[in-house]
Each structure stands twice: as structure tokens, then as C-alpha cells.
């Protein structure tokens, strides 16, 4: 006489838990990818051995033909201060700006931006590429 168990084991696999995990990971990666501040324009950066690890809240790019880009929109140097005040207001007292200035650029525009940052107590990081 064979003894049989009254509790039958189910051999099926429930996919609902796995799909929940996949969707949560998808949402996590979508949120974290939007926190990365991309470089807006193709600017030839100078080389440096030192790399600063910081999270800038805004990227400003100045090309070799003196075009200023903030969030992929072109501005003049006279408009830059009002644009920075408007965009950096929600980020508190000392927000960080990353400046991607072309290595062949005359420093006049860079100094103008640095003067604006000094007046409003913004931190500025100069974007560089790693030296070989």
C-alpha cells in the first residue's frame, strides 16, 4: 500500500513577482538617467590630469565661434545673467555650473560668465577631458 500525500505540490511558476521587479527596475533606471546632466554641444575641451567629481545642475557650453548654449538654446552674453537667475533660482544658495568652453576660445566670454557667477555666488567647474 502506497502512502500518498494529501497536499499536492504545484510545479507552475508565477511570473507576477518577476514582472513587478522588472517594472520597478525600469522605473529606477529611467529616473536616474534623467539626473545626469549631458553636455549640450560638441565642444573641444582642454585636457587635464585632475578631474573634479561633482554634480552640476546646469551645463553651459561656449563654442569656438563664441556661441553660448544653455540647455541647447542659444543666448547672448547680455541675456546670460537673467537666464541663469531664472534657471538656478530653485536650486538654493550655491548651485554648481559646469562650463564647457572650447580650448581655442578667447577668454573674454569665460571671464564674463565667471563675473556673473561671482556676483550671485554660483560655483563653476571647468569641463575638461582626461589627459592621455
Q: Where are the domains of the chain?
A: 47-130
Cβ distance 95 to 60 under 8 Å?
Answer: no
Q: What's the pLDDT tens digit per position in 80-94?
A: 889 988 888 888 878
Tell me 36's DSSP state: S
In this structure, CATH architecture of domain 47-130: 2-Layer Sandwich (3.30)
Residue 131 has pLDDT above 80, yes or no: no
Q: 106 pLDDT band (50/70/90 cuts)? A: confident
Cβ distance 30 to 51 under 8 Å?
Answer: no
Q: What's the pLDDT tens digit per position in 4-61?
A: 777 777 777 778 888 999 999 999 888 877 655 555 566 666 667 776 666 778 888 8
Name the pTM for this structure. Answer: 0.61
Residues contacting 18, CB < 8 A, separation 6+:
none
Residue 130 has pLDDT above 80, yes or no: no
Q: What count of other Cβ atoms lies within 10 Å of the Cβ of residue 14?
A: 8
Q: What count of other Cβ atoms lies within 10 Å of the Cβ of residue 44?
A: 13
User: How high is the pLDDT of residue 53?
Assistant: 67
Amino acid at each position: 500500500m502506497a502512502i500518498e500525500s494529501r497536499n499536492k505540490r504545484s510545479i507552475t511558476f508565477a511570473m507576477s513577482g518577476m514582472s513587478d521587479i522588472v517594472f520597478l527596475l525600469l522605473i529606477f533606471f529611467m529616473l536616474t538617467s534623467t539626473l545626469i546632466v549631458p553636455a549640450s554641444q560638441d565642444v573641444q575641451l582642454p585636457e587635464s590630469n585632475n578631474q573634479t567629481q561633482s554634480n552640476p545642475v546646469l551645463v553651459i557650453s561656449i563654442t569656438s565661434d563664441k556661441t553660448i548654449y544653455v540647455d541647447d538654446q542659444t543666448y547672448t552674453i547680455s541675456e546670460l545673467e537673467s537666464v541663469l537667475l531664472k534657471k538656478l533660482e530653485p536650486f538654493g544658495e550655491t548651485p554648481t555650473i559646469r562650463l564647457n568652453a572650447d580650448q581655442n576660445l578667447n577668454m573674454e566670454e569665460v571671464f564674463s560668465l565667471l563675473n556673473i557667477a561671482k556676483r550671485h555666488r554660483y560655483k563653476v567647474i571647468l569641463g575638461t577631458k582626461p589627459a592621455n
